[in-house]
Structure 1
Amino acid sequence: MAMSAGGGGGDDTPMSDINTTPLVDVMLVLLIIFLIAVPVVIQTVDVKLPEVIHDPTTTKPENVSLTVRSGANGECEVFWNLTKVSSEELLNRAVDKLKAEIEKKGGIENFTAEDMPEAHIRGDVSTPYRCIGGTIFTMQMAGYSRVGFISQPPAGSFVQKRL
């Protein structure tokens, strides 16, 4: 590659042409780097997601039904069935209920995962997450490993049952 240091004819005028060869070289190198790096960054794991609109709730008598909403002054209100409870009362009731279920089955050695009661939470749309999250945390502290949410299906939808 030849490079011209000045204009023709020997006069001392500066050259006004820009040498774009180094710029093009740098751009091509960057293009190659990005073409190699993009597939590395975009990686996904193939999974098959369930094709169910929602699962119908199977209600068992040992399940705990909780309702969580935001109160008038912004405080969290938790209801055990229809009774309003505080955070401490919720923990104590949940522990007592779980102990009673274990004793009903004849002790912890006879208690299986299928016997474990579930906590079903109905949360109001305008309830802050801290209220719902606090209720989930309290139920998990009490020993409930299955905590689920009860929702209302959209109008006009139907329930598909998984086989």
Structure 2
Amino acid sequence: MALSFAESRGAQDDAPMGEMNTTPLIDVMLVLLIMFIITIPIQTHSVGINLPQAPVDTSLPQPDPIKNKVTIDASGVVRWNGMAVDPLTLRRYLAQTLALPVEPELQFQPDAAARYLVVDQTLADIRRSGVTKLGFVGNERYGQF
């Protein structure tokens, strides 16, 4: 004779089941989640804002179409064709030279007493800009070093 599962439990048949069936609860929560996702409006509208434009300063020197010179003096000041520039302005000038029909030559002349960090950062900016015509000026004075 085979005993069924209920008969094999014996005395435990009369005890109430202590576990809650969570499947209906999970089903209801998933349905509510889907309903909330569907009712969220899609953000398709945009707000047009007119941002102020920086005025174009025509007093700044434009890149020379033939050659430009970047120098670094002993105090670490970077100069573009004799005018002191910050790294952002230097990058802008480099981008302008690359936009010309023929890329002009870029001459680089750091002072011997200039800090290596400033020279290295300037060379990194020149390299990242994509300049291909780069020449070092003033190295001949170190030939008899």
Into which bin does the TM-score normalised by the smaller protein fall? 0.3 to 0.5
Higher relative contact order (CA 8 A, sep 6+): 1
**CA radius of gyration, larger in:** 2
| TM-score, normalising length: structure 1 | 0.43
